[in-house]
Amino acid sequence: MVMGLRRRWLLVVLVVAVAVFSSVLAFHVVNRLGSKAVGQVDQAGLNTVNKPALIGINVTIYVIGPTTLTQELASMGINPSLIKPITINQITNTQNNSVVVIDWDSLLSYSGGNYSVIIGVLSTLFKRGDLVIIHVSSTEESPLVIWALARSWARAYGSKITTYPIIAGQYLSAFGSKNALVFGSSYKTKDIIGIITNYQRIISTWGHEVGSNQVSLLNIYEPYELRSTTLTNVDPCQKYVQNANSLGGVVFDYQPYYNGVDTEAYNDGNGTLYYDTCIFVYNGNGEPYIPAGAAPYYPVVTAAWIAYSPSSTMIGNNGYINYFIGTMDHELGWDYYQSSTTDSYLEYESGANPISTSSNYVVTFTVEFGTGDVNIAFEVEYSESPSSVNIQSENTAPTTNTAAVNNTWWFYMGSNQQANQKYMVAFAEDADEWVLPQGLNTYQTATFNNELGVNLVTSVQDIPCTAWVYNYEVIWTQIQWVLQYNPGSSPPTGFSAQIVNQQSPYDITGVTSYSESIPYICGDIT
């Protein structure tokens, strides 16, 4: 960063509401993808619900809301003895590390529209290590619910920072520890099974370290590989989450749950798309780094993982994964800051290079921070699949201003792809800075966009002696992250957001298709 700019930004005084306005990015992303290729609850009896085969979940699910919500949960096949309708006033009598499903309208009614009351209720659940799942009657309420979950987590753990994605869904979920906040979303009641399963898996890895602040200094991660033959969550974001309580910072993670499968976002006759995205904020003792003569900042890592499993139909039609694409987009957040929509920003550190792959397609994530008396570093080496991938990376910053940098990766996939195999790639920036131009005593908000997608050749048709016809499908998503710094002052009460990844029941921004014809003539050309 240019020091002069930081000093000048320190003089800027902005008073804004918490406003997150998303630009129309669909065209922006599609171009990239296409051009490269060519209250109270009724105590209703659960016996009135038809009983399907029981699902193997062994955690108590407390339900706050109308009878219909309780019945929907029971209809999924969960053991009825584990579903317990309660009132909000009974929350303190429930077990720790439980699942609490809350109807948003019931919570609004209980609070009388007072968001301090809502945050008070939800923060109690976070303190107890609960998984909180909120049901909304309209997906337009989703951003406000996610904001409430994030603010409640921050209150529960006394954190000055919080970060959350602008996402949509009929069910919005979150759980965490002092060092992690994991978000999820889904549109169907049955998808809750996946949310609960992932919650149980993650908290079991945290074990006795939940809520601790132990810092491991070196070699936190063992080397691991992403292979086409595994369905294990080994993406960088999951490594951050699983090791959150020993990293000296806070990880904010989001993954979809389409079909009740964690990270699954979209499925059609051609295959299945998965993704995971996260932001790691190194904050050790909760304070930002304060360089001499410049604005304070938090060191930040942004990472994403994307996978696709082609169907037998697509492979049988001579189809294949053409390429994955991923972008870390700082430019939009910088534009919001310049227009006073926000009052802080996330920049790509000057002099750093985006993580890219070598000729043998092996990448090492390296993160190293030093703040005060605490130093932390770790390395993660992984290889993506298949090994014949061709990588192109591009820094698309329009100027030398690192706050407006966009780093984009294209992962061109190799041949001999197999049906029903999960092909995975990951990309990250390990040298970002969340700059706080207003100093340490002012509430500040920044935004950051993560864009990712896949370009597929779904079929290749040979029209003899005429043309080869390539049919393409493009699936893309973009996640807008909101970063908030609250030194203890009263946060603004306004909230406005536009959801950009809403394609119910899918957790994507859009899908499109097109064809390309390559003419050819049989025989010799004279």
Residue range 252-295, pLDDT digits in tens: 999 999 998 999 999 999 999 999 999 999 875 578 988 888 89
Which residues in the chain show pLDDT less than 70? 1-56, 208-234, 284-285, 350-400, 489-504, 524-526
Under 8 Å between Cβ of 478 and 27: no
Distance from C-alpha of 74 to C-alpha of 63, rounded to nearest angstrom: 11
Q: Angle, to 10 degrees, between the axis of helix 115-127 and the axis of helix 104-111?
A: 120
Q: Quick one: tokens of 463?
A: 């029209």
Q: Where are the domains of the chain?
A: 56-206, 234-368+376-525
Residue type, 429: E
Residue type, 173: S
Under 8 Å between Cβ of 79 and 54: yes
Enumerate the β-bridge partners of residue 392: 410
CA angle 263, 265, 266 (to 5 degrees): 140
Under 8 Å between Cβ of 74 and 190: no
Phi/psi of residue 507, nearest 5 degrees: -100, 60
Q: Coil, strand or helix: which one is 142?
A: helix
Distance from C-alpha of 474 to C-alpha of 439, rounded to nearest angstrom: 43
Distance from C-alpha of 236 to C-alpha of 227, rounded to nearest angstrom: 14
User: Which pLDDT belongs to residue 223?
Assistant: 27
Q: Quick one: tokens of 395?
A: 């820094």
User: Which pLDDT belongs to residue 220?
Assistant: 25
User: Which pLDDT belongs to residue 511?
Assistant: 94
pTM of the model: 0.81
Under 8 Å between Cβ of 342 and 336: yes
User: Which pLDDT belongs to residue 416?
Assistant: 84
User: Which pLDDT belongs to residue 282?
Assistant: 87
How many of the other CB atoms lie within 10 Å of CB of 271? 27
Q: Coil, strand or helix: which one is 25?
A: coil
Q: Select from 158, 252, 169, 238 the least CA-distant residue to 202.
A: 238
Q: DSSP 3-state helix, strand, coil percentages of the chain (rounded to 5)? A: 25, 35, 40
